[in-house]
Amino acid sequence: MKKFSAKPLAFSSSVVLATLIAVASTSPVSADDIKIGVPLSLTGPVAFAGTKMKDAMELAFDEVNSSGFLGTTKLVPVFADDRSNQPQGISVTQQLVLRDKVSAIVGYTASNICQASLPVAQELKTPTLQADCVVPGLNKIGNYVYSAVRPSDVFVEQTIDKLVAARKIKTAAILYQRDNPVFVNLQPIVAKAFERNGVKIVANEAVTSGGDSDFSAQLTSIANGKPDVMAILLFGGQVGPAMVQARQAGMKDTIFLGEQNFDSVEVRRVAGPNAEGSIFPSHWFAASPVPANVKFVKDYTERFKREPDTFSANGYNAVWLLAQVIKKAGSGDREAIRTAMETIGDMDTVFGTAGKTRFEDRQVTLTPFFFTVDKAGKAVPAFDKP
Amino acid sequence: MLLQQVINGILTGSVYALFALGFNLVLGALNILNVAQGAIFTLSAFVAYYLISIYGVPFPLALLAATVAGGGINVLLELLVFRPLRSRGGSAMSSLVASIGASMILISVAQLMSGAQVERFPFGTLPEIQWTEFGMRISFTQVLVLVTTMVTMAGTYILLNRTRLGKAIRTIAFDERIARMLGIPTVSVARWTFFVSGALGGLAGVLLGIMYNSVYFLMGEPYVLKGFAAIVIGGFGSVTGVIVASMMIGLLEVFSTVIGIGTFRDVVTFGVLFLFLLFRPNGLFGRDEEVRP
């Protein structure tokens, strides 16, 4: 793919548009607008991610509509705030489907809300592309529910394997958030991955709430074990403070290991020099030369005066994936969209190095990059290649 | 490590204590459970953060300004929300519901201001000095927090027990009608009570923000429940009780981690609260309610 968005008058964009049309189905699209439900966590503990997703998704919807990607048809997003709360997630899903009569849903921010809400979308037979939830098992919910990201467990396991192979790692500790299914699920996986690599777990401490910012007791216990590496499995908003407090607790040389939420300008800004040397996997690489990604980073930065991060990329990418599915479906009919999800084949994406992905077992195929944070606070490829 | 954890527990407890003292003041004197105290805690931390990071205000001045801002916001709540309710004879329940609404509005303001992002005070706001003795690490920031909270707790005790305002607050707490008969300007005293309460909450917010490198629009939420637990365990209206109970909660939380049950630290805290409610409902320092004819 050359570009996701195209400005009709620009020659280069026209070429891109032609490429996109060639890749996707040429089915005619309806002249009617298509309503898309966009449930996100815009308030509450996960709002730090949901608000970034919303900005990027608005950008993507604007690009889809202004580029004429769907002909004269416009996608009309109906945003809804699940307040980082499971019952509210179920409620907004029902509201979007039954009251707003959306053709499809794209969104969701937090894994626990995905776990509660996606079965509702399945029951109401509404094609849904979840954009940000990385807990395993969501692809087993049913044939209306697809994932635009992959579960984080395999990525983190691969990171541990590579880290242990590259460095002299003998001991490890885990600090995890007990209140969220992603981290509760990741904690034993991370422990097993360390043990499988012959690394001794010296401490395993839980944080009880997503609202906590005081990790002093847990980090004092962990520092006592002098771990070579500490896995920080916390909400993005907690990661930066945890890194600072860990250094203050005496872990001067400990490597911090995390999942995709480390890939955030905010985490690195809050942690400052304390983040140096951190290791994490991500399916998105801001500096990826994939043209769609270059355009995304440029447009996002210009529009919002800040750099995008993984959450922004997830939101942006999911809207464009859905746009391609709807193009293939040729209408806003829910059954047609679901069928298109099953049969679409290759899609253009901002993720990866090839700029292509497809649905396999109802989730996208992706290969992770592995990053470390350098002295300047930038995420740069770890190991020998990204 | 044990000594380090004791310090951690005392630091955590001292911030709980400041928060709970403010909470307790309005509850004890005016029978209002003002849950917006958590939002005031948060907003004051943001005030200090913006003053320092945008305007380069030195930390002591920013701390003072944010503390006054906390008091000011609470006075505004008194004027706009609680005073009208009280003048209409509103119940404690109506005040509680109103304070929940006020809290949601203030938290939304904090979210809008911050864009839901976590902020931190600029590096170097306070000297980054750390002392290591007997296997313990204590930083300049921690010492500052400890000294500030101790001085403030002592000041609050003196204010309530040795000043005319304190006596007036205690008289209103005993009976507002009698206070009026004695010529105490109850409206003005109530306003000052709200100011001191908000200032204590605000001060706690800034200290927490600087100590744990995190200013976040939901940072005050966990403190509402912990503050309430401290009041129940310490005894309604008792300054000493609230301070002791807050330290106890801080230490309980830390030692839950030390003995390997950190996952259940809230269960431990609220389990203790439950036991107090069952066996000592007036708390550690609370007295049996006097029945006045």
pLDDT digits (tens, 9 = 90+) for A283-332: 898 888 899 999 999 999 999 998 898 999 999 999 999 999 999 999 99
Predicted pLDDT at B146? 95
Question: Which residues in chain B are closer than 8 Å to A245, comparing Cβ atoms?
Answer: 212-213
Question: Which residues in chain A are closer than 8 Å to B127, comparing Cβ atoms?
Answer: none
pLDDT digits (tens, 9 = 90+) for B101-154: 999 999 999 998 888 888 899 988 999 888 988 878 899 999 999 999 999 999
Which residue does chain A place closest to B256, by CA atoms?
A: A217
Segment holding B152, helix H or strand E = helix B140-162
In single-letter form, the type of residue at position B245 comes to: A
Residue ranges of chain A with pLDDT lower than 50?
1-29, 386
Which residue does chain A place closest to B12, by CA atoms?
A: A214
Contact A206 B263 (CB under 8 A): yes
Strands A128-130 and A104-107: parallel
Predicted pLDDT at B288? 61
Minimum-distance CB partner of A248 among B139, B217, B218: B139
Q: Which of B8, B16, B125, B270 to mutate to test the interface with A (most CBs of A within 10 A)?
A: B8
**Mean of pLDDT values over B8-32:** 92
Could you identify the residue written with the tokens 């292509």?
A356
Contact yes or no for B207/B148 (Cβ under 8 A): yes
Q: How far is A362 from chain B (nearest CA, A)?
A: 31
Residues of A with CB under 8 A from a CB of B: 42-45, 47-48, 50-51, 178, 205-206, 208-209, 211-218, 220-221, 224, 237-238, 240-241, 244-245, 248-250, 266, 269-270, 272-273
Q: How far is A213 from chain B (nearest CA, A)?
A: 6
Minimum-distance CB partner of A48 among B11, B118, B130: B118
Predicted pLDDT at A29? 42
Which residue does chain B place closest to A208, by CA atoms?
A: B263
Q: How far is B167 from chain A (nearest CA, A)?
A: 36
Predicted pLDDT at B290? 54
Rg (chain B; Cα; Å): 19
Which residue does chain B place closest to A251, by CA atoms?
A: B137
Question: Which residues in chain B are closer than 8 Å to A237, comparing Cβ atoms?
Answer: 117-118, 214, 216
Task: Work out the burial of residue B113: count CB atoms within 10 Å of its CB; fewer than 13 is exposed, 13-18 middle, 19 or more buried.
Answer: middle
Contact A240 B214 (CB under 8 A): yes
Q: What are the C-alpha distances in Å from B101 to residues B82, B98, B198, B199? A: 12, 5, 17, 20
Closest CA to A167 of A252, A97, A106, A229: A229
Q: Please provide the average confidence, as pLDDT, over all residues in chain B.
A: 91
Q: How far is B144 from chain A (nearest CA, A)?
A: 16
Contact B1 A43 (CB under 8 A): no
Rounded to two decimals, what is the model's pTM?
Answer: 0.83
Strands A171-177 and A200-207: parallel
Q: Which of A82, A176, A201, A248 to mutate to test the interface with B (most CBs of B within 10 A)?
A: A248
CA dist., res. B258 & res. B256, Å (int)? 6
Q: How far is B270 from chain A (nearest CA, A)?
A: 13
Q: Sheet with A104-107: list strands edge to edge.
A: A75-81, A34-40, A104-107, A128-130, A145-147, A363-364, A359-360
What does the DSSP 8-state code read for residue B217?
T
pLDDT band at B220 (very low <50, low <70, confident <90, very high): very high
Contact B265 A248 (CB under 8 A): no
More confident residue, B272 or A336: A336
Contact B117 A237 (CB under 8 A): yes
Q: How far is B193 from chain A (nearest CA, A)?
A: 29
CA dist., res. A152 & res. A236, Å (int)? 14
- Backbone torsion region of residue B150, taken as left when φ is above 0, otherwise alpha when ψ lies between -120 and 50, otherwise beta: alpha
Q: What is the Cβ-side half-sphere exposure of residue A119, based on CA atoms within 13 angstroms?
A: 9
Q: How far is B53 from chain A (nearest CA, A)?
A: 13
Which residue does chain A place closest to B209, by CA atoms?
A: A213
Both tokens of A178, joined, read 């007990």
Predicted pLDDT at A312? 95
Predicted pLDDT at A123? 97
Question: Which residues in chain B are closer than 8 Å to A214, comparing Cβ atoms?
Answer: 12, 208, 211-212
